[in-house]
Amino acid sequence: MKNAFIVFLAFTLVFDILLIAAINMINSTLLNPDFIVRELDRLGFYSMIQDHFAESAGSPEFADVIRKSIPESWIRENFKRVLCNTFNYLNSETASLNATISLIEVKEKLLAELPASSINLGPVKIELDEQIPDSIDLSEGINSSGLLTQLKAFIGYLRLFYSILILAAFVIVSLIVVISKDLRKISLTLSSALLASGLLAYCAPMIASILLFNRIKGMDLPAFLPADSLITMLDEGMQPMRDQGVLLFSAGIILFASFILLKTHEARREIKKEEETEQLLLEEVCGETGEDDFDEM
C-alpha cells in the first residue's frame, strides 16, 4: 500500500513539473516583450509599418521623406517601449498603462526633410507643424475593448496557479521523503519522476511541432506571414520547453547516479557485515574446537 501511494505521488509530481515547465515556457515567450519584438522583427513587421506610413503619403517624393523621418529603428524602439509598459501594467507593476509616444523627433526630421524634397509645399510647412502633435497616447486605443483588463486578470490567475504548483511540488517531495524514510528509495523515486518529466517535456514539443508543421504547410497564409517564418516562430516558441526538458533529464540522471552510489555503498556495507559475521562465527567455532581439544587432553 505504501509503495503504491509513493508511485501515485511520483506520477502526480511528473504532472506537476510539466505544468510548471509549460507556464515557464509561456512566461519566456508569449509574456516576454523581448521575444515578441524579436519575432516581429523576423516577420518584417517594422518595415511593413514603415511601408504603410510611406504609402499613405500619396506621392513617391513625399514617401521618401516619410521613410527618412520614420526609420525602422525608431518604430522598433517605440514599439518595444510601449510593449514593455503594457506588460508592466499587465503584471501589476504599474497602476496605469503608459502608452505615450513622443513625435517631437519625427516632426523635427520631417520638417527638416521637406525643403530638401522636390515637393513645393510652401506655407503648408507651417500648417503641417501645427497639425502634427508632439505626442500621441495609445492607451485608450489599446484597451478600448477591455482586452487588457481580461489579460491582466488571466496573468494574475496564472501567477497564482504557478505558485500553487510550486507549493504542490514541495508538498509531494516532502511526502515522498517522509513516507519512504530511505535515501535509496527517495533518490530512485525522485530521479524516475525527473527523468520521465524531462523526457516528456523534451518530446512533447517535438511531436506538437511535427503535427503543426504539417498543417501549416497546407494552410493558405497571408503574404506577410510565410509558412517558413511561422514554423520558425513556433519552433523557437517551444524551445524553452525543450531546454527545461534537458535540465530535468540531467537532474534525473544525477539523482539516479546518487541512487546507484547509495545502493553500491549499502551493498558493500552488507558484504562487509557478512564477512564480519562469518569471521565471528569462525572464531567461535575455532574457540570451541580448541576447548574440546584441551578437555580431551
Say what the pLDDT of residue 294 is.
45
Q: How confident is the model at residue 213 (pLDDT cuts 50, 70, 90)?
A: confident
How far apart CA 89 and CA 9 sit, in angstroms, is 38
Say what the pLDDT of residue 98 is.
84
How far apart CA 14 and CA 165 sit, in angstroms, is 11
Of the listed ranges 35-39, 75-79, 126-130, the least confidently predicted one is: 126-130
Candidate ranges 29-38, 51-60, 95-104, 117-126; pick with highest mean pLDDT: 29-38
Domains in the chain: boundaries: 28-163, 182-297
Q: What is the mean pLDDT of residues 170-192?
A: 91
Using DSSP, state whether 136 is helix, strand or coil: strand
- pLDDT digit string, tens, across residues 2-21: 888 999 999 999 999 999 99
Q: Where are the alpha helices (DSSP H) in 181-296?
A: 183-217, 227-237, 239-296
Asked if residue 291 has pLDDT above 60, the reply is no
Say what the pLDDT of residue 110 is.
76
- pLDDT digit string, tens, across residues 74-108: 988 998 898 898 888 888 888 888 888 888 888 77
Asked if residue 202 has pLDDT above 90, the reply is yes
Q: What is the mean pLDDT of residues 65-73?
A: 84
Cβ-proximal residues to 239 (8 Å cutoff; 6+ apart), any chain: 205
pTM over 0.85: no
More confident residue, 112 or 100: 100
How far apart CA 212 and CA 221 sit, in angstroms, is 14
Q: What is the mean pLDDT of residues 200-224?
A: 79
Stated as kind and residue range, the H or E segment containing 297 is: none
